[in-house]
């Protein structure tokens, strides 16, 4: 189960990192972030979805990039 909600890529979380959030509209609102996934080799993949519900790999960051990860938390 992949429950990554948000990532920040870059060494300076507040000042210089790029932030990606599941559901965020991108590319002129033609796509949104569908899934952020950590791969077995510790790299991060970002998948996007368009209005036709087609899903594409958009970006991938290797394990050497500084990344901050926020997970979904479910309370019952």
Average confidence (pLDDT) per 10 residues, the chain, 76 residues: 88 92 96 96 96 97 93 88
Token pair of 49, please? 């979805």
pLDDT at 2: 66
Beta bridge partners of 47: 35, 57
pLDDT at 61: 95
Cβ-Cβ contacts under 8 Å for 15 (sequence gap 6 or more): none
pLDDT at 75: 87
């Amino acid at each position: 189960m992949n429950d990554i909600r948000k990532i920040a890529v870059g060494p300076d979380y507040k000042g210089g990192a790029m932030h990606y959030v599941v559901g965020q509209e991108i590319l002129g609102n033609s796509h949104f972030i569908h899934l952020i996934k950590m791969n077995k080799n510790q790299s991060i993949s970002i998948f996007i979805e368009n209005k036709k519900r087609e899903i594409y790999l958009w970006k991938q960051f290797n394990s050497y990039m500084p990344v901050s990860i926020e997970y979904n938390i479910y309370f019952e």
